[in-house]
């Protein structure tokens, strides 16, 4: 076996995905009694409204889990050889 290339350690950064067309956070709410879940939405209000309606239909279902999915992007940091290629 021969080594064709060596990749050295390089710095990267991670943060919110701000690429064109990238999604913002996505919100969901899950009932902790029955595990039923709202639809996902980019706005918090529809899942929260779902939780209120669910509790209204099921008065003993009062605990809910907020599920927030955020999208991240990793990019080469200055000094990383790939940083120039991304500029």
Q: Is residue 61 part of a domain?
A: yes
Q: Is residue 22 part of a domain?
A: yes
Q: Is residue 1 part of a domain?
A: no
Per residue in 12-49, pLDDT (tens digit) is 899 999 999 999 999 999 999 999 999 999 999 999 99
Residue 66's domain spans which residues? 18-76
Helix (H), strand (E), coil (C) string for the chain: CCCCCCCCCCCEEEEECCCCCCCCCEEEEEECCCCCECCCECCCHHHHHHHHHHHHHCCCCCCEEEEEECCEEEEECCCCHHHHHHC
Q: Is residue 5 part of a domain?
A: no
Asked whether residue 86 carries a pLDDT value surpassing 80, the answer given is no
Q: Is residue 85 part of a domain?
A: no
Asked whether residue 5 carries a pLDDT value surpassing 80, the answer given is no
Q: Is residue 33 part of a domain?
A: yes
How many domains is the chain partitioned into structurally? 1
3 band by pLDDT with thresholds 50, 70 and 90: low
């Amino acid at each position: 076996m021969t080594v064709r290339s060596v990749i050295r350690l390089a710095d990267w950064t991670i943060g919110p995905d701000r690429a064109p067309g990238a999604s913002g956070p996505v919100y969901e709410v899950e009932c902790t009694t029955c595990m039923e879940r709202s639809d996902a939405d980019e706005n918090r209000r529809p899942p929260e409204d779902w939780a209120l309606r669910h509790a209204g239909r099921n008065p003993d279902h009062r605990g809910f889990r907020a599920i927030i999915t955020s999208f991240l992007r990793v990019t080469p940091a200055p000094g990383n050889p790939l940083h120039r290629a991304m500029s």
